[in-house]
Amino acid sequence: MKTQIEFTRSTIAPPATAFSSSEIGACLEFSGIVRELENGKKIPGLYYEAYEPMARAELDKIFNELGGKHSCEEVLFVHRLDFVPVGETSLFVRICSRHRQEGLNFMGELINRLKADVPIWKKSEK
């Protein structure tokens, strides 16, 4: 499985798809967008921070674990750091697999694990 993890302080521009295998039959993309209301209060955006070396290590661990259960060919994970304005993408994930079900399962579990274990934090004020 080919994996790529990126943290960026700029607008996320997902790279064009360049499939590593002609056996890829499903490609899923997930974007997490910053919403205007945080706990019922209007905000201009969110600030993100990460413990980046550990976040990378945790993501690698999660990718390996999920790859053993739901075979996928490619995973691209991009997370923004610092200030992300309302309406912009804070998280982008692309998963490519031979069949749709593996990719759908991988994606669902990855997002849940991200929100439980990967050391990334958001807050509404710096």
Partner 1 sequence: MKITILTFAQTRTQLGFAEKAVDYKPEETPREILRRVAPQFDPGKTIRVAVNQEYADWDRAVGQATELALIPPVSGG
**8 A C-beta contact, residue 76 and residue 94:** yes
Name the amino acid, one letter, at 49: E
- Identify the three-state secondary structure at position 56: helix
Nearer to partner 1, 69 or 122 (CB): 122
CA distance to 35, 83, 87, 124, per residue, from 41 (Å): 11, 17, 15, 10
**CB-count burial class (<10 Å; 0-12, 13-18, 19+) for 80:** buried
Q: Which stretch binds partner 1 (CB under 8 A): 8-16, 19-27, 47-55, 95-103?
A: 47-55
Work out whether 108 is an interface residue with partner 1 (CB under 8 A): no
Nearer to partner 1, 26 or 111 (CB): 111
Work out whether 50 is an interface residue with partner 1 (CB under 8 A): yes
Tell me the closest approach of the beta carbon of residue 15 to partner 1, in angstroms: 20
Q: Which stretch binds partner 1 (CB under 8 A): 10-18, 21-29, 97-105, 109-117?
A: 109-117
Interacting residue with partner 1 among 40, 68, 116, 126 (CB under 8 A): 116
Nearer to partner 1, 18 or 125 (CB): 125
